Amino acid sequence: MILADKITNLRKKNGWSQEELAEKMQVSRQAVSKWEGAQTVPDLEKLLALSRLFGVTTDYLLKDELEEEEFTDEPDRIPVKRVSLALANEFLEWRRQAAKRVAAGVLLCVVAVIPLLLLSAATTVPGASVSEPLAAGVGLAALLVLVAAAVALFVSCGFKNAPYEFIGSEPFETEYGVDGMVRERQKAYRPRYARTNLIAACLCVLSPIPLFIGIVTENEFFIVAMLTVTLLLAGVGAALFTLAGVPWAATQKLLKEGDWAPRDQRTLRIRQTVSTVYWLTATAVYLTWSFVTNAWDLTWLVWPVAGILFAAVMGVCRLVTEREKKS
């Protein structure tokens, strides 16, 4: 009996479908289908996981001459955490509160550069008593304070989220009544989620209008002032996206839907990694260019360009991951 047949027999003996086995193994259903069709062989890590899951030895799985099952003393299932109704309610309430903090942090990150821009522009106003060194010093200090406040919000959320970290990152089971409760909460929240995203999208699309108005004039300070309004509108839009998205993602995590479905976990991790590396790189480029050239009135262009390119990068990332899933 070959490995493919053994996996199929063990799966059916436990009464699991291919989808259920895929979820327990944290792989796609297509991967399980290929294992059982002898198209591919599980790697060593997956073989060890199959051994623990079915409670059989790896020798039994790997050696064709072993027809009789050789059981181990280990549990016949990989232990998974269980989410009770009380824990699910607690998690949803925490994510609702965390959404406000994360949204505030996002807004602070976006508007952090505004004091620096305004002070730098003030040095060009005739008769202004603001010197360039003073504007740069105070502006940079304000930027660092606002970014530090945002980081403090993110870190505090991370610490408080630790007890629920396994939801969405590890296999778990929900107790009776949890799925029904979460679906009801999700259904009730959907109109607000859609409305908030619509407002956020409109703010982001319309945010360049003040900048366009400023460009029409020849007053440099007024142009910068309109730029800060553009940044403020974009920041509010980004904060609203976060405010609506965090609670919605919490319901999807519990229901294992959307990006949090077991088959999409690897895709999500890839997108998160690419996103993190991208924005860290953009920040490094912005700070390096700004400090080297001291052209703070120009280096802000990094952010709108980065925002446009980010959509393209994530689009390419999505295409690549979708192609991998189909192959």
pLDDT of residue 262: 59
Strands (E), the chain: 81-83, 172-174
Which has the closest alpha carbon to 203: 173, 164, 232? 232
pLDDT of residue 104: 95
pLDDT of residue 124: 79
Lookup: tokens for 19: 């989808």
The distance in angstroms from the start CA to the end CA of the chain is 27
Per residue of the chain (327 residues), what is the pLDDT tens digit?
588 888 888 888 878 888 888 877 878 888 888 888 888 888 887 888 888 888 888 777 877 666 665 655 544 445 567 889 999 999 999 999 999 999 999 999 888 889 988 888 888 787 777 787 888 889 889 989 999 999 999 999 999 998 898 887 777 878 888 889 999 999 999 999 999 999 999 998 898 899 888 888 878 888 888 989 998 998 899 999 999 999 999 999 998 887 776 555 556 667 667 777 877 787 788 778 877 887 766 776 776 677 667 767 766 766 676 665 555
115 phi, psi to nearest 5 deg: -60, -40
Please classify residue 126 by burial: count the beta carbons closer than 10 Å to its beta carbon, then call 0-12 exposed, 13-18 middle and 19+ buried.
Answer: exposed
Domain 3-62, CATH: 1.10.260.40
pLDDT of residue 149: 95
Which has the closest alpha carbon to 303: 291, 314, 289? 289
Distance (Å, whole) CA 102 – CA 244:
11
Does an H or E element contain 155, and which?
Answer: helix 132-160
Is residue 103 within 8 Å of 242, Cβ to Cβ? yes
Domain ranges of the chain: 3-62, 83-258, 268-327
pLDDT of residue 74: 47
Distance (Å, whole) CA 151 – CA 166:
23
Is residue 243 within 8 Å of 297, Cβ to Cβ? no
Which has the closest alpha carbon to 146: 106, 92, 191? 106
